[in-house]
Structure 1
């Protein structure tokens, strides 16, 4: 109990994510509507796949800093995804 089993699927993960974002946002004084969850997840996916996995959470933090300083969340997300998708593949 208390943990999500694998058989809960995508709906269970989405419910858990939404509950977490709402609770964490509340703890930080943010309304759920202020959190661009899909944009953050899309950027994290693009960075994890286009750059390197550990860069995803750091990029989410950078995104938060930029937005906290007044940047438009959608513009930041677009710019970071574009950068990640154009990132050169590492030499093998």
Structure 2
């Protein structure tokens, strides 16, 4: 068991969540997409938003796909700043 798996098991136990319910790879992929394409602080906030959506019935894989697609299509920082200069 690696450190991440150990953390997921321990934190999950505190919250009553089985490690089998945690799609760690998908979450890490989404966090990377948001951090690199939108902004770094958006990654943990997005993980929370996804948790809320999944808790309300959205499938984890669907939530991951939707958010990654959104983050990957997000305008670059350069194009956003160019729009503000006009």
Q: Distance in 2 between matches of 1:52 and 1:18?
A: 26
* Counterpart residue number, 2:28: 41
Runs of 4+ residues over 4 Å off in structure 1: none
Query: Size of the alignment, in residue pairs?
Result: 79
Q: Distance in 1 between matches of 2:21 and 2:61?
A: 12
> TM-score normalised to the size of structure 2?
0.87
* Counterpart residue number, 1:21: 8
> TM-score normalised to the size of structure 1?
0.82
Q: Secondary structure at the match of 1:75?
A: helix
Give the Å deviation of 1:47.
0.2
* Higher helix proportion (structure 1 or 2): 2
* Counterpart residue number, 2:51: 64
Unaligned 5+ segments in structure 2 are none
Matched, 1:51 2:44: no
Taking only aligned residues, the RMSD between alpha carbons, in angstroms, comes to 1.2
Give the Å deviation of 1:26.
1.0
Q: Work out which of the residue numbers 58, 63, 73 in structure 2 matches 1:86.
A: 73
Higher relative contact order (CA 8 A, sep 6+): 2
